[in-house]
Every structure is written in C-alpha cells, then in structure tokens.
Structure 1
C-alpha cells in the first residue's frame, strides 16, 4: 500500500496536523454554539414513507387526500410542556426562518427532538400541477445560512440538529405554505 499512498512515509494519515488544528478550532466554536442553544429543541429531517422523498408529490394517485402536507413530529412530553395538542398548527422558528404546519405526536422520537419530513414546499412550482396544490413546507428554509455555516471539510450545509423553537401558531401567517413570502418565486 505504501506505493499508492502519497504521503512522505507511505502511510495513511488518519489525523493530519492541519486537519486536527482546524477541527479543534471548529469543535470549540460548535461546542459553544451548542451550549448557547442547549434549551432549544433540535430539528431533524425524516422521510415520509408514503411520499418517497418528493417525486410522488406530483402524482395524484400517490398524493390523495392524506398526503397533502407534511407534519412536524414531536414527542408528547415536549408538546405538553408547550400546551400543544396533536393536530395544532405550530410555528417552527430557527435563526433563519419560520414555517407553519400541523403537528403530530411521535412517542418514539427522543424528547428534545422534533422531526420534519423533507421534500415538500412545491407551491411555487406552477408546472407541477399536483404538487403545487399541496401544502407542505420546505424544511431547508430552517437550515443555517451563509458561508460560515457550511462544513469546511465536506462543503455540506448543516441540515440536521438545528436549534428551533416550536410555538402554537399565532397571528396571520407571514408566508405561503412553502415557507416563502408570496411573490418571491415566479
């Protein structure tokens, strides 16, 4: 293997010095961020078995009446602490956006974590005649924004473990069901 590994000693470097220095700096920053948000719920995404990501959203036979929106899934204890009942409309707020959707209980979910299925938010996709009539929200709007929020090693956006607040929906909805303000996308 030594001839194929292009390091000075021919060995795989599992923890190169440059990587470890960058990791230490990043880990300290990320740990401080987690401590600052430790009392907030953590948002994860999940798949919805009946919609297979998003490709079935434009097929009426798959959408039907029961698959016209996504739901925020929440442990009953977390909902109770917030005086929320199953089926309530809730606002989910991160540092970048707020989306509004119905909430369902999921007792298998760890307390302190909420889950929102991905692949929704097609209301502005007018050429998707069925999907544009669904009411699901785009979970990606809740993800952190900006170049400093991208993982430096993978280049990936942070899409899970996002600190959020969940409250009963209050007042008029300031956005469409997709989570985007009306008129932002043609």
Structure 2
C-alpha cells in the first residue's frame, strides 16, 4: 500500500472511531466542527465530558448558538484558562494555568513547524506567578488525572508516573534523541543557530518503488466541486461576502483582552470599502446588522480602501456569549458560520470565509 493510499484510508475513517456525522478520524483525531453534534446526539458513544486546553470552543465552533447549547448539555466541562473566556464562563471546573513567562520552555514546537535554519533556544521561567495566585502548569491537570486513573503517559519515552515531574523534566523528555542536546541549547541563553548538516533525501531502498499520492482522487473531486460552486453566483439575497481578517496582536481569541490590543482596536470592526459605506449612508463607527439565514450579529463599521467592494472583513475570536454588545465585546463571527452547509467532505470543515451575508444599517 502506498503512503498516499494509507493517508486516504485514515482520512476516510477506515480505521478508528466514526462519529454521528459519518466522518471518521484523521490520525486518531475527530473533526472539531462535528463536536457539537457528537455532544447532542442520543446515540451510544456520544461525548458527555469535555476537557479543553489551549482552546475556546464556545467562541470558535461554527454556529455559536448551537455550540453553546451543546457545551451546556455536557455532564462535565473542564477548561484550563489564563482568562475568563466564553468557555470558562460555561465550565464546571476552571484551572487557572501559568502564563508563558511563568514557566520554562524551548523552541521545539516551532522547530517542528519547519524553521528553515537549525535555530533553538531554551528559556527558564522569567517571572514568578503573582503573589497569592493559585495557578498550575497546564500539563499537571492531565498528569494528575492519568496518575489517579492508573494510566501510563509517554512523550516518546515513558513518563515517571510515581514521582511527579516538573516542567524541566518534561522538556528533557521531549528532546530525547535530539541532534543537539538540551544542555547545549541551555548554554546559549539567547538561542543559537547550531552547525548541523542539512537533511538529505536518500535514494529509494532496493525493491521499493512506492510514490506519494500528491492528489488523491477524493481531494481532486472536492476541488472540482469547489470550482463548480465558485462558478455560480452567490446567494442572490446577499449584499456582501464576509471574509476572515487577522490582527497582529491576537491569535484567535487569545490576546484580545490585552491592554495593547484594546488601545488599537477596542473591538473587531466590520471593515468595508469606503464606497460601500457611502452607498449605505454609513460613516466610521456606525452600527450595522450582519445577517445570514440562521443568525445575525451587530458590528461597528470602519472604512478601509484596501478591502474589495462587496466584501466585509472581520477578525474572528471576539464577542461574548450571545450578546449584541459590539461596543464592549465585539462580535462573534462564528455565529454566521453554518455548521451544516458548504461542509468539506474530507475533514468536515464548514465555510469559514467568503460567507454570503446581508449588511443592514441600524
């Protein structure tokens, strides 16, 4: 079996769990966009307890109203958060976790994303948690739970389940077998580019002639369907297309509450071309309702000549728990994402951008 066929099998759920939506797993993981359905199902095997780390599903899942209904239906919701997020407000248990500068770390995660040079850095904890705070390392929640359940954890090698490790112990385990030992990286406090030979691809082993399937048949079919959909006109009732926008101060919902972020953008405006604002008799700061057939949000508009006409550009990750208080919390664009239309066949991803919407002045 070629690698391409093997990956296709994993994507199609030929092995592993298959959820109520009919989608299988991808490398052992279920599809995030189907989580609410997996919670609300009455079928055996539905999700009844959810532990969140590094995630804010009450803000990020498609069709926020439906997602919040699902999260409220859980028997147990636990989250690890440094801020009072939407998910934290719904949770039964919230663990306050250390901030990045309060714990040691190294660059292995970034290296795995594909740094073009062999750079590495280790940093110790730079500041202690605030006096009187009750915080925990984010990994400790899961280590302690596994310890009580009698489970063995591993980070490439087994983790000691008798003696509770500290963060530095785990960083050591993560770098087991590294071409540059962690002690060598620690000796360069500012980080360094290490003299390592460039990776090379060796010739195929004798008798092996497999090739990567760069475009499996189902991927090509999905691209064809996408192209055919783009060739037609969008929903004729729509006045604009809502597209995603990134701000340099935020990553999803993280960072939106920082003072430096709020000074530049107190909320997430709806950016539109000035000619589109004029056509609707709008000026900067005016409020509009942005609607789809299943929900709507209220936002403040701003002019941006770099935005195409007919387009509304908004950052995601803002808004509260189903409020229209755009002046205080911004607006949650996931309320406008349909969970059951324009869904990708392979990974169950709904349409997150270029969403047909109606913009109406208030």
Short-chain TM bin: 0.5 to 0.7
Kindly provide the CA deviation profile for residues 105-133 of structure 1, in whole angstroms up to 9, marking residues without a partner as x.
Answer: 00011112110111101357xxxxxxxx9
* Partners of 2:268 and 2:314 within 8 A in 1: yes
Kindly name which structure, 1 or 2, has the bigger radius of gyration based on alpha carbons: 2
CA displacement at 1:45 relative to structure 2? 1.4
Structure 1: tracts of 5 or more residues without a match: 125-132, 170-186
Distance 1:144 1:168 in 2: 23
* Partners of 2:270 and 2:302 within 8 A in 1: yes
Distance 1:154 1:89 in 2: 36
Q: Identify the structure with the greater helix proportion.
A: 2
Distance 2:211 2:262 in 1: 57
Return the match for 1:105 from 279, 292, 303.
303
Return the match for 1:54 from 238, 253, 264.
253
CA displacement at 1:22 relative to structure 2? 5.5
Tell whether 2:338 aligns with 1:139: no
CA displacement at 1:20 relative to structure 2? 4.4
Q: 1:22 to 1:140 in 2, by over 3 A?
A: closer
Kindly provide the CA deviation profile for residues 3-30 of structure 1, in whole angstroms up to 9, marking residues without a partner as x.
Answer: 76659x84444555555456545654x2
> What is the TM-score when the length of structure 2 is the normalising length?
0.37
Structure 2: tracts of 5 or more residues without a match: 7-208
Range that drifts further, 65-74 or 77-86 = 65-74
**Other-structure match for 2:312:** 114
Superposition RMSD in Å: 3.2
Distance 1:81 1:64 in 2: 29
Partner SS, residue 57 of structure 1: coil
**Other-structure match for 1:40:** 239
Q: Which has the higher contact order (CA 8 A, sep 6+)?
A: 1
